[in-house]
Structure 1
Amino acid sequence: MAKQDGKHIIAINKEARAEYELLETYEAGIVLEGSEVKALRSKQTVSFKDSFVRIENGEAWLYNLYISPYRYATIKPPDPTRKRKLLLHKREILRLMGKVQERGYTIIPLSLYFKNNRVKVEIALARGKKLHDRREELRERDMRRQLEREIKEGKLKL
């Protein structure tokens, strides 16, 4: 997709920002098989639908991230939605584990990208938005756009 500050973005979870209030973000490495990395390099399909992070036995695992199988793989390709281990510092895992045990918090992936030829995942500690929160956000965005439009047309002077 796009390159920004040394990152080559592979995929972005657009729904995450709409459905969740993001509190903290972390960068994590991800353990992949060779054919999965080749699939990502050849720009094959990646989907964040229903993907989430769970901490089990002091390790972070990414569930339901779909990476389409590499079509030229010589060995049997791995399951496209298998759970994948995330590489985080122990203190980050402990912090996330403590926060997730509180009611209403979850960990979701935001984006997948290459950084120095390594695949990284940006994850966030998030809290689900309520329907009225989303409506309020849309209403504010519409009001902001209307105000900018009026300023641009010269109808409104500051």
Structure 2
Amino acid sequence: MKRSEEFTVAYNREARAEYEVIETYEAGIVLEGPEVKALRNKQTVSFKDSFVRIENGEAWLYNLYIAPYRYATIKPPDPLRKRKLLLHKREILRLMGKVQEKGYTIIPLRVYFKNNKVKVEIALVRGKKQHDRREELRERDLRRQLEREIKYGKLKL
């Protein structure tokens, strides 16, 4: 049995800070040759303002920046072009139903290689309110302080 090789190319750090992740999905992505080579060379990938929209029963990824491969012999594709995502029909229908509810959207979380194929982890998310973010920071601070006290033996259990 072959072992699944995963290698993360890029990770959307802002996503978990700004959104509450409801569900995640793994999707294939339709890329051109120079884009795959750019990802293999670990060139710049930016998730800024990227999102997924469902049109005519197909999922499309918008505004994912993949830096052009500089050694491409043919004209490199537009770095910000929309790219088709490969999902099962039932997943697309489920996402379409959820996105029509108020406050939900779909964003990419990371781009990675799995068994030499480029995959995108997308998530159904809901935006966090300002007080949710503050509460999360407060909890993280308390957890970190508690771990520090336990580590250095200042806390007696």
Common topology (TM > 0.5): yes
Q: Which runs of 4+ in 1 moved over 6 A?
A: none
Deviation by residue 1:27-82 (Cα, 9 ceiling, x = unmatched): 00000001100111111111101100000000000000000111011111110000
Residue 57 of structure 2 is matched in structure 1 by 58
Residue 18 of structure 2 is matched in structure 1 by 19
Give the length in aligned residue pairs.
Answer: 154
How much is the aligned-residue C-alpha RMSD, in angstroms? 0.8
User: Among the aligned pairs, what percent are the same residue?
Assistant: 86
- Alignment of 1:45 with 2:47, yes or no, is no
Q: 1:151: Cα distance to partner?
A: 1.6
Gaps of 5+ in 2: none
Residue 107 of structure 1 is matched in structure 2 by 106
What TM-score does the superposition give when structure 2 sets the normalisation length? 0.96
Instruction: Give the match's secondary structure for 2:107.
Output: strand
Please list, as runs of the form range in 1=range in 2, the aligned pairs for 1:61-72 lying within 5 A after superposition: 61-72=60-71
Gaps of 5+ in 1: none
Q: 1:111: Cα distance to partner?
A: 0.4
- Between the aligned partners of 1:149 and 1:74, the Cα distance in structure 2 is 54
Instruction: Give the match's secondary structure for 1:24.
Output: strand
- Alignment of 1:73 with 2:72, yes or no, is yes
Instruction: Give the match's secondary structure for 1:121.
Output: strand
Instruction: Give the match's secondary structure for 1:79.
Output: coil
Q: Specify the code of the residue in structure 1 equivalent to 2:109.
A: L
- Alignment of 1:149 with 2:136, yes or no, is no
